[in-house]
Amino acid sequence: MASSSPFLSKIPISNKTISFTSSLSPLPSTFPFKSVRHHRRNALRVQSKIREIFMPALSSTMTEGKIVSWIKSEGDVLSKGESVVVVESDKADMDVETFYDGILAAIVVPEGETAPVGAPIGLLAETEDEIAEAKAKANSKTGSTGSEAVASTPPPATSAPAPAISQPAAAPAIPAVEGPRKIVATPYAKKLAKQHKVDINKVVGKGPFGRITPADVEAAAGITPSKPVAPKPTPVAAAAAAPSPPAKPAATPSAPPLPGSTVVPFTTMQAAVSKNMVDSLSVPTFRVGYPVTTDALDVLYEKVKPKGVTMTALLAKAAAMALVQHPVVNASCKDGKSFTYNSNVNIAVAVAINGGLITPVLQNADKLDLYLLSQKWKELVEKARAKQLQPHEYNSGTFTLSNLGMFGVDRFDAILPPGQGAIMAVGASKPTVVADADGFFCVKSKMLVNVTADHRTVYGADLAAFLQTFAKIVENPESLTL
């Protein structure tokens, strides 16, 4: 492959080791593939005087190489023997020289990217006139990356002076900032902006003192951070409607913010919530509500409260026991073609924590007794507050419980988190006048629960039957303490 390259590594490569003893010696004068080269040269001359710069094979085992850095930039005049690009092979980094005089017209493979041996990484024009042609060629060669390469240097004589095809115009959306404010961006923010081709001048800094942080650039580039910015564990939240400040729906980028408004980028957790919420839209859900009398449960709660049992634990336990009898509600639809019956009953409970929402999971809630469950819950909440939940402690839920009753909410509607079959929204328990079968009035505490389920797996009758069981367990809660 290297034989057809106009570049020649000046270093003799042995498979075993690379020594550079001769690195200061002149270019080897004998070229082993002379005839081949001439052939190629002639062929090229017929078409045009634009030469492709290939990824050279720097060792016998090399199949691809990474461009460490371009020593020359586009538009630089090169003379034979000059180092043009640094290529990293599987063995070492090496300067690669040009074998021809010319002008570096276009960089096809930018720094940091990898190309297979023999692939064109740049274009060499013989005269200035051919630069534009070479650029066009580079453009067609690489699609998006190519266009970037072209845009990065102002073409001296392009055929169509197209007004910069740059980023989807965010420019008008930027509120006029007070005066010619200096742009302050952190080192990583600048790097990210370059990497994602975001114009740093158009990013609004939300960091301390109005500086542009990596998160701002990521927000501008429309990506969720792949890694936590700080090396702290930031659990990715599964999501459900819960006592949390509702994450604003992602506004369409076209709507300009009102003057004076502030834009606060999502934290990692908020971004995860947002993603999950949008994903949930692909699931056909329906809702079934059910009133449950809680007098007996309240009595039990007063009894076990001193032992550290919380209402959350009681409800989780009740739901778990009901789920054991209705495994289809505990199932989920992973691929749109089948039921996945979960071997465990893991109750995820939505919790609001500082600016976010997370669902710690009570695993095997049907098997653990109420006291263990309560203890487990306490641990999970503490961990969640300290952001120390392990992934399996927040993403292994098979059924979610969300309770807004403590705020006086009487009923609400939860969004089904992707990957689960159903979520239960629990309202407040309130004294209600009821008439019994015999026509006698009495006052009972009633609580409305509303279950959202995936209709691909859970049908109306299934959910109704499940709720009936759940209501029975809550109304006769002795079994919860067993």
Is 195 near another protein (CB under 8 A)? no
Shortest distance in whole angstroms from residue 196 CB to another protein: 15
* Residue tagged active-site, from 38, 39, 326, 455: 455
> Does 383 engage in binding with another protein (CB under 8 A)?
no
d(CA 430, CA 71): 75
CB neighbours of residue 82 within 10 Å: 14
Task: Tell whether residue 24 is a contact of another protein (CB under 8 A).
Answer: yes
Smallest gap from Cβ 113 to another protein, in A, equals: 14
CB of 34 to another protein, least distance (A): 28
Instruction: List the interface residues with another protein, window 49-78 (CB under 8 A).
Output: 68-69
For residues 175 and 150, the answer to whether their CB atoms sit within 8 Å is no
Amino acid at 227: K
Indicate the residue among 139 and 213 with the shorter CB distance to another protein. Answer: 213
Q: Which is nearer to another protein, 184 or 352 (CB)?
A: 184
Sequence-ordered strand ranges (E) for 231-294 = 285-293
- List, in order, residues 6 or more apart from 94 with CB less than 8 Å away: 9, 11, 58, 86, 87, 88
CB 447 within 8 Å of CB 427? yes
For residues 355 and 391, which CB has a smaller minimum distance to another protein in the complex? 391
CB 104 within 8 A of CB 76: yes
The question of whether 455 is a catalytic residue gets the answer yes
| Least distance (Å) between residue 389 CB and another protein | 10
What is the C-alpha separation between 3 and 325, in angstroms, rounded? 72
Regarding 28 and contact with another protein (CB under 8 A), the answer is: no
Binding of another protein by 184 (CB under 8 A): yes
Residue among 323, 324, 342, 322 at smallest CA distance from 332: 342
Among 34, 36, 77, 93, binds another protein (CB under 8 A): 93
Shortest separation between residue 82's beta carbon and another protein, angstroms: 17
CB 193 within 8 A of CB 205: no
Candidates 143, 161, 163, 231: give the one binding another protein (CB under 8 A).
231
Nearer to another protein, 121 or 315 (CB): 121
Of the candidates 38, 41, 80, 232, which one interacts with another protein according to CB under 8 A? Answer: 232
Backbone angles phi, psi at 349, to 5 degrees: -120, 125
Nearest to 352 by CA among 237, 203, 261: 237
The number of residues that bind another protein (CB under 8 A) is: 37
Q: Please report, as a single letter, which amino acid is at residue 14.
A: S
Q: Is residue 26 a contact residue for another protein (CB under 8 A)?
A: no
Of residues 63, 77, 90, 256, which one binds another protein by CB under 8 A? 90
Contacts of residue 237, defined as CB under 8 A and 6 or more positions apart, other chains included, come to 269, 272, 273, 276, 356, 357, 358, 359, 394
197 binds another protein (CB under 8 A): no
User: What are the backbone dihedrals phi and psi of residue 461, each rounded to the nearest 5 degrees, phi first?
Assistant: -65, -40
- For residue 55, the minimal CB distance to another protein (Å) is 17
The answer to whether residue 181 forms part of the interface with another protein (CB under 8 A) is no
- Residue 423: what are its φ and ψ, rounded to 5°? -135, 140
Q: What are the catalytic residues?
A: 455
Contact residues toward another protein (CB under 8 A) are 16-21, 23-24, 68-69, 90-93, 182, 184, 186-188, 190-191, 207-209, 211, 213-214, 227-234, 390-391
